[in-house]
Amino acid sequence: DVKVTQSSRYLVKRTGEKVFLECVQDMDHENMFWYRQDPGLGLRLIYFSYDVKMKEKGDIPEGYSVSREKKERFSLILESASTNQTSMYLCASGTGTEEYFGPGTRLTVT
């Protein structure tokens, strides 16, 4: 079974803090993705990566950055958290045909 894990299920941070969300996959997938999920908006792609040290902007990259130093790990960074970044963050990894999701991190910025 494909396993995608995320470092935290729930996270509470203060405005202005730097936040790291970690994602690890164990299937040697080249593609990894970060989405955020908000009610009524579905999932929106923040950043994705097709290879180590490679990153591409998704549809809503503003306020975020990413890091992929190893194939199995893809990190999402909020440089200075703001209240409008309160959301559910979902990581995914995939083969180019199938994409598998982690359980999500619910981030609250106060």
- Residue 42 found at the interface with another protein (CB under 8 A): yes
Stretch touching another protein by CB under 8 A, among 11-19, 29-37, 60-68, 71-79: 29-37
Cα–Cα distance between 88 and 11 in angstroms, integer? 10
Structure tokens at 39: 């009610």
Q: In this structure, what are the phi and psi dihedrals at residue 85, rounded to the nearest 5 degrees?
A: -100, 5
Cα–Cα distance between 80 and 33 in angstroms, integer? 21
Give the per-residue contact string, 46-75, with another protein (x = CB under 8 A; - = no).
--x-x-----x-x-----------------
Give the footprint of another protein on this chain (CB under 8 A): 4, 30-31, 33, 35, 40-45, 48, 50, 56, 58, 90, 92, 94-104
